[in-house]
């Protein structure tokens, strides 16, 4: 099995990240999800990824749910099993409805097909799109 670093076995550097994740999400530092427990074998990479995620996923010009839907849509288009499982959970937890998920799924399916048709037909970019 892949080694998961539990809070109680973690170095101070790793614990500090688990604690910040826990604070941000209002959970116990022992309950951070496996994405962090697995990345902990490379603490610097994990810390850098967490800092970035915390900044980028915070509500701004786009709200919490929209940000989760976009993250999930990308993860579906890239076919990442873990990311789909964790961000579907996050999206629902943050208030995404089944109707919103269904519409997003349909857009992802339409877009991945549209992307291939643009290539298949070698569609030239319209001048108006470059104005």
Nearest-approach distance from CB 12 to a second copy, in angstroms? 18
In the complex, minimum distance from the CB of residue 23 to a second copy, in angstroms, rounded to a whole number: 19
The smaller minimum CB distance to a second copy, of residues 16 and 38, is found at: 38
CA distance 113 to 18: 39
CB of 98 to a second copy, least distance (A): 7
Q: Which is nearer to a second copy, 23 or 34 (CB)?
A: 34
């Amino acid at each position: 099995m892949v080694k998961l670093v539990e809070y109680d076995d973690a170095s101070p550097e790793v614990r500090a990240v688990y604690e910040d994740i826990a604070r941000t999400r209002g959970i116990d530092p022992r309950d951070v999800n496996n994405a962090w427990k697995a990345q902990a074998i490379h603490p610097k990479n994990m810390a850098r990824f967490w800092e970035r995620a915390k900044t980028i996923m915070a509500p701004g010009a786009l709200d919490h749910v929209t940000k989760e839907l976009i993250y999930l849509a990308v993860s579906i288009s890239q076919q990442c099993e873990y990311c789909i499982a964790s961000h579907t959970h996050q999206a629902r937890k943050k208030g995404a409805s089944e109707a919103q998920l269904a519409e997003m799924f349909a857009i992802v399916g339409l877009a991945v097909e549209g992307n291939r048709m643009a290539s298949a037909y070698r569609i030239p970019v319209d001048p108006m799109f470059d104005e």
